[in-house]
A = this chain, B = another copy of it.
Amino acid sequence: MSRDIRPQIESVNAQFASALKRGDATGMANLYTAEAQLLPAQSDFVRGTEAIRTFWQSVIDRGLKGASVETIELEVYGETAIEIGRYRLLAANDAVADQGKYLVVWKHDNGTWKLHRDIWTTSQPPSVS
């Protein structure tokens, strides 16, 4: 717990946001471990680099232009870390497309921290359309 990996985690989160901003789904997918899983709403598990790349490409294709994340809590257990935070997804003109919270399990993999399990939920109320 004493080991402060927060700067490393925040650096990867910044790389994630940068890759999304430039529409680089491959760059996003490469921040995950080879055996990573997303647990998105309205989808089954998304497993492995290629499926994760396809998932983020579909998000980019829907017009997402950026993200910001804020780490709230970070616990480290050797080569594993658990991060909880808040996210915002931005559409064109920096309009907030979605905002919510997430839990990421990180693995220290060959010298760098990579996302391993990634689950998030919107905090926005149900749409009234």
Contact A84 B121 (CB under 8 A): no
Q: Whole-angstrom distance between the alpha carbons of A40 and B80 in the complex?
A: 24
Residue total for A at the interface (Cβ-Cβ under 8 A): 28
Contact A42 B77 (CB under 8 A): no
Whether A95 sits at the interface, judged by CB under 8 Å, is no
Whether A43 sits at the interface, judged by CB under 8 Å, is yes
> Which residues of chain B are within 8 angstroms of A75 by Cβ–Cβ distance?
80
Contact A82 B105 (CB under 8 A): yes
Contact of A124 among B42, B77, B105, B125 (CB under 8 A): B42
> Which residues of chain B are within 8 angstroms of A105 by Cβ–Cβ distance?
82, 103
- A25-69 interface code vs B (CB 8 A; 1 in, 0 out): 000000000000101111111000000000000000000000000
